[in-house]
Homo-oligomer: A and B are copies of this chain.
Amino acid sequence: MLFKIDAETSTRPAGRIRQKNESIILRAAEIEFASSGYKGASMNDIAQRAGLPKANIHYYFKNKLGLYMAVISDIIALWDSTLNAITPEDDPGEVLSRYIARKVCFSVENPLASRIFAAELVNGAPNMKEYFREDYAQWFRGRTDVFGAWVSQGKIDPEVTPEHLIFLLWSSTQHYADFAVQIKAALGKDELDEQDYLNATATLTHIILKGCGISR
């Protein structure tokens, strides 16, 4: 996503340079924002990481907020697509286990994106107000309706409130990216390995599916 290959030929080398530099800057910015927060990250550090003079960043991006929003919008584009294509006819067991596996996987492969998103939300999402407008509640309602249908069909226990099941899916999977420091400290490891993530996925899948009354 951050490394789109320019399809143009050398007829407009300027555009090629621009795209290449923009992606270099975005990647450096992603790292800095993720590890220091919006205010904590400095244009200086971002420029240094990108290997460019500070002024170049201002040439490509209007200002610090503009750069941050560019990073954020890349992240949003990656986000909730995972829950988009579900219908009442789908098998809830399949949908849930696939979602859990994907999201844990995503947390492992894109920890920076996850953390920037988390930091933004923890601070009250000051730069994502328009993302969380009414259509967001509508979109969410569309998802809970599907889960509600499954409850009506007896495929999920009636004790389960669809809204809170979705929150549980979000929280339990993101946790592995956002709170990685605490998890590593608890497990006494410097890095988590493949087996840890398999255990995580297996345990989450077992508890959530069985807990919803979904037989597999």
A: which residues have CB within 8 A of B? 35-40, 115, 118-119, 121-125, 132-134, 136-137, 140-141, 157, 159-161, 163-168, 170-172, 174-176, 178-179, 181-183, 185-188, 199-200, 202-204, 206-213
Evaluate whether A122 and B122 lie within 8 angstroms (CB atoms) in the complex, with A172-B171, A175-B170, A181-B132 already known.
yes
How many copies make up the complex?
Answer: 2
Contact A204 B132 (CB under 8 A): no
Q: Would you call B123 and A185 a contact (CB within 8 A)?
A: no
Knowing A159-B202, A161-B203 touch, does A182 contact B125 (C-beta < 8 A)? yes
- Tell me if A199 and B164 are in contact (CB < 8 A): yes
* Contact call B185/A137, Cβ cutoff below 8 A: yes
Q: Is the CB–CB distance between B35 and A38 below 8 Å?
A: no
Q: Are B181 and A124 in contact (CB under 8 A)?
A: yes
In the bound complex, how far is the Cα of B132 from the Cα of A204, in angstroms?
25
A38–B125 CA distance with the chains assembled, in angstroms: 16
Which secondary structure dominates chain A's binding surface? helix
Pick 25 A–B contacts, CB within 8 A, sort by A. A37-B38, A37-B119, A37-B123, A38-B40, A40-B40, A119-B119, A121-B179, A121-B181, A121-B182, A122-B178, A125-B182, A132-B185, A141-B188, A157-B206, A157-B210, A159-B202, A164-B204, A167-B172, A167-B176, A172-B172, A207-B207, A207-B211, A207-B212, A209-B211, A210-B213
A125 and B115 CA atoms in complex are apart in Å by 13
